[in-house]
Structure 1
Amino acid sequence: MMSIQQQLRRHWLISLLALMLPLLLLADYGVRQMVGHYVLSRLQHDADSLIAALQRDPLSETWQLQDNRLGTVYQRVYSGHYYSIRSDQLLLKSRSLWDKAPPDLNLNSGEQRDWTQPGIDTGNHKEVWLNLALGMTVDNQPFTLWLAEDISAQQRQLLYYRLSALTLLGLTLTVLLLIQRRQLSRAFARLQPLQQQLRELRFGERDNLGAASGQYPQEVQPLAEEIDRLLQQLQQRVGRSRNALGNLAHEMKRPLQQLQLLAEQLSPQQQQQQREVLARLQTLIQRELKRARIVGVASPGRHTKLADELPTLLDVLQRLYPQVQIEASYEPDAILPQDRDDTLELLGNLLDNACLYGGNRVQLSIRNQADVWQIQVCDNGPGITEEQRQHLLQRGTRLDESGPQGSGLGLAIVQDIVSSYSGTLALNANTPQGLCVAIQLPALTITPLQPFD
């Protein structure tokens, strides 16, 4: 997705071009009009001189031009200045045309035309003519006066002006882009603390953004405050839920004791049934109490630093199951990108089940292979058959309900957590005996901190 800086630069550049290009086109049009009007005014002046120099010979009744009243520019061959005077029986043209024929025009008196066309091509130079044609009457004799001037030099100068203007525009845009880049970098640099604190929040190094200090720019201050508010609410809700579970399990211990006393007043057969039900309730209560101790303080959204979290978890389990030897293998700097509470819930249930049903030795292995986190918990207990393993993994079957003390919840919770991260869970036989629970979780991408440029 395009960054905010890139969007600002693109929109700013588009706005600047939308403003400057019309101005540039207007300036180009104005210069071309000014050059055209200037040349046409000179041609009009020369036309007046030609009209004044046109006279009728009283003896021969022919029309002639007084050359001494015209500029020498019309006498030089291919000088770039040309004229012709045409009537029904007369054609006078400038010496500069040499052997080239002027345009065949016939305009009414008072009619005027101007246009541009390619001129004489001498091989070394291609002329561009700006033409002016006038219809006039002298001594009741109609004439059509045509004048042309080569404006190729002006067009080359105009092209040079255009290229210079475009170059200046490009340099101006480059300088403005550099200035804008610097200004944006300085402005976005004020967001560096927020970016760093979000990263610390992601890895569990802080509990909130500290928006109450007012250290953020006004544009993002409401966002930081809202994030802190939501984090506080989420932490409170998760904490209340877990505390409620722990309190409920704790408060149920006394009523269960009373039920056990009352069960002694029943018949032997009823006592046996009652004790089995009470034993399952007692197991559930103990499990929730252990889970509350294992997970600890609620901190949703944090990643799991194994070196910080696993020792505490293993210590709690070792005290709960002193007869079991628990071994753990993982990289000291390993960080699981999944939620810290979910990860501890998953590992706590796996290890708790292994310690409870799996003999006297439990091995935990966590490693990252090909962008997949491999979690494996193996025990040396009696294990289960392949048919039972397939049955236990069927949808809707509780994964540990077959044990004598099983609640049917531990591995079911694990399965839910694994599914929520699009992972997989498999039950395999351990060698020489026991059960291995193998879990694969996708290694979610942890985006490194990017500085604002």
Structure 2
Amino acid sequence: MRRAPGLSVRLKLTLSYAGFIMLVGALLFVAVCVFYLRFLPDGFISADDSFWIDRYALLRAFAPFVTIVMAVLLTLGLVGGWLLAGWMLTPLTRITAATRMAANGSLSHRIRLSGRSDEFRELADVFDTMLARLEAHVDEQQRFAANASHELRTPLAITQTLLDVARNDPDRDTGELIDRLRGVNTRAIDLTEALLLLSRADQRSFTRQHVDLSLLAEEATETLLTLAEKQEVTLETSGEIARTVGSHALLQQLTTNLVHNAIVHNLPQGTVWVTTSVQPDSVVLTVANTGEPLAEQLISTIVEPFQRGTERIRTDHAGVGLGLAIVNSIVEAHAGTLTLTPRAAGGLCVAVQLPAGR
């Protein structure tokens, strides 16, 4: 935004200080004049009536002295106001410099104003916090973009390889080639849809309505029952009515992702427990499963995009590595909390806590 040039804040403060001093001096001069004119009468003031006082002549004699004093006050006001304004605006100068650096792409710089708390230091602290969050968000987006590019490149590279093989070997069975191409294409579509869903959750552009998590849990288990039977995993659903406010579609995807992960990252003859509960101001959806013991380091990273974890059980239905990342984004979009806890007997317990619907 282009603006016309104007006076600096420092100059404005200087003029304000000087103007205030001049106003006070002028008021003081007026007060003296009023006093002389009203309370000091003309006449003899000595005992022998030898000394005559003329108040108007006294004021005329006093005027040059007042002019000199006002000039001195103006000079002191300008010089002192300029120095005082510069000293007061030093923190703002540092904040402005940091803002310019951030606008040019440097997000690692911090102001770190020292001293006791005041308005400028509170502004600097808030700005430092904003820069830290913005830097972390940019780094996360860059990692996500790099990982997404890598994941999208993989099916395209496989497709290119299959097509090259088919072109160089005309006698190759086209049925097998088509099946493999179909599988690779399906994976690319699933990945694209997952990325779009993740973007939608991050933008928080959805209509809010009353949702019962217990019904979503039942729908998710019914939908994934065939997969659970194929994986030889038992699904157990229980709990109470747990109403919240949010997007029905996103919360349904959240529940489905959690149950799906609990099934595919499980052991043969394993179990998945899906429960809902109500607390005073929130509702909780919990999905736990059996499995191998999980390390704490793995727990802290598996919610990041494309972080599947090598210690987890892998199957043909393991997905594209965005399941828990989507869950985390949906939870944040609904002002909730996501807690992942490794079970002592093996497996994972995931708890989603959302504000209770009113």
Which bin holds the TM-score, normalised by the shorter protein?
A: 0.3 to 0.5
Structure ranking higher in strand proportion: 1
Structure ranking higher in helix proportion: 2
Question: Which has the higher relative contact order, 1 or 2, with Cα contacts under 8 A spaced 6 or more apart?
Answer: 2
TM-score normalised over the length of structure 2: 0.40
TM-score normalised over the length of structure 1: 0.33
